[in-house]
Amino acid sequence: MNSKSKIKNYFIPVLAIFTLLPLLTFAAELRVEIKNREISVGEQFKVDVVLNAKGEELNAIEGSILFPDNLISLKEIRDGNSIINFWIERPKITNERKIDFSGIIPGGYKEANGFLFSAIFVAKSEGQGIIEFRNFRALKNDGLGTSASLAASSFQFLVSKQVPVSQIPTSEIKDSDPPEKFGSEIASDPTLFDGKWFLVFATQDKGSGIDHYEVRENFWGGFVIAKSPYILQNQNVDKKIYVKATDKAGNERIEAFYPVHYRPWYQNYRIIAILMIVAVIVGVILKKFNGKNR
């Protein structure tokens, strides 16, 4: 083989390596973090789900986490202080061994330690297991919804009766602060919900995380459990709307929103007419009552 052929045969694989290197090195990564790989039976432990964007500005991420339900059981999910500002699907268990999640990061995220949420597990039987990601993907913050390169690392662990119970128990969250202040948007789109008016809302809770939302569409009505986007019952969109956010510690925040067609009560002619009629009736009653007393 002549020297040119040797150089060519050497250069091609080296070129291929350097071509693939950016994909291998700079792909964003999903990972789980846990203090110990060896866990005692009956022990409660915390798994953090973390995003390393590696400088790639990302604004949306989704995926599933699979865990062996014969070895561990899910006790709780915590998303307080998450980099996700708007959950499309808040982390939740969809069957006995899978957690689904999907969210948006307005403005994008490109740092290395982006906390998404924590899962609190309890080890229930001995054996070797693995926690892994499935069906994961991320989108770039480029306004086009371009898919980003995303890798995910699995986590192997051992549950054994021979492992001493950790001396550091999973801490309970003490949260006395209400969810953060938030805004809302009322919109209508002919391609969504048959063109009906709907309400979009979201907030964060840095302590225990948001538990649920409730909506009330006027002053006198009751609150109902709601998810964003919420189709308004009052399609005239002329009454004040209240949204209540409750965190997992029971703290609440209520925000009031004024729709575009909102009219104060004193501009509502029906109410004015009713008040006038009531005033007339009361006046007549008082007049008769005063006449009898004379």
The pLDDT tens digits for 25-38 are: 458 999 999 988 89
Shared-domain flag, residues 209 and 252 = yes
pLDDT of amino acid 88:
87
Q: What share of the chain is helix, strand, coil (3-state, %, to 5)?
A: 20, 45, 40
Within a domain: 22: no
pLDDT of amino acid 175:
83
Shared-domain flag, residues 149 and 210 = no
Within a domain: 179: no
Give the strand pairing for 38-40 and 155-160: parallel
Question: Rounded to two decimals, what is the model's pTM?
Answer: 0.68
Within a domain: 274: yes
Domain span at residue 283 reads 270-294
pLDDT of amino acid 45:
92
Phi, psi (degrees; rounded to nearest 5) at 225: -60, 135
Within a domain: 1: no
pLDDT of amino acid 146:
93
Within a domain: 8: no
Q: pLDDT-based confidence at 208, cuts 50/70/90? A: confident
pLDDT of amino acid 5:
45
Within a domain: 170: no
Summarised one tens digit per residue, pLDDT across range 110-164 is 999 999 999 999 999 999 999 999 999 999 999 898 999 999 999 999 999 887 7
What's the CATH code of the domain at 219? 2.60.40
User: For residue 168, is pLDDT > 70?
Assistant: no
Shared-domain flag, residues 32 and 140 = yes
pLDDT of amino acid 67:
96
b vs e for 234-249, b when ≥16 Cβ sit within 10 Å of the residue's Cβ?
Answer: eeebebbbbbbbbbbb
Shared-domain flag, residues 44 and 155 = yes
Number of domains in the chain: 3
Shared-domain flag, residues 47 and 103 = yes
Within a domain: 207: yes
pLDDT of amino acid 8:
43
Q: pLDDT-based confidence at 15, cuts 50/70/90? A: very low
Shared-domain flag, residues 216 and 152 = no
pLDDT of amino acid 9:
47
Sheet holding 114-123, edge to edge: 72-78, 114-123, 44-52, 28-33, 150-152
Q: pLDDT-based confidence at 85, cuts 50/70/90? A: confident
Shared-domain flag, residues 95 and 32 = yes
pLDDT of amino acid 271:
54
Shared-domain flag, residues 34 and 148 = yes
Phi, psi (degrees; rounded to nearest 5) at 134: -140, 150
Averaged confidence pLDDT in the chain: 83
Closest to 129 measured CA to CA, from 82, 191, 67, 178: 67
Q: pLDDT-based confidence at 16, cuts 50/70/90? A: very low
Q: pLDDT-based confidence at 272, cuts 50/70/90? A: low
pLDDT of amino acid 215:
95
Within a domain: 3: no
Residue range 234-238: mean pLDDT, rounded = 88
User: For residue 80, is pLDDT > 60?
Assistant: yes
**Of residues 106 and 61, more confidently modeled:** 61
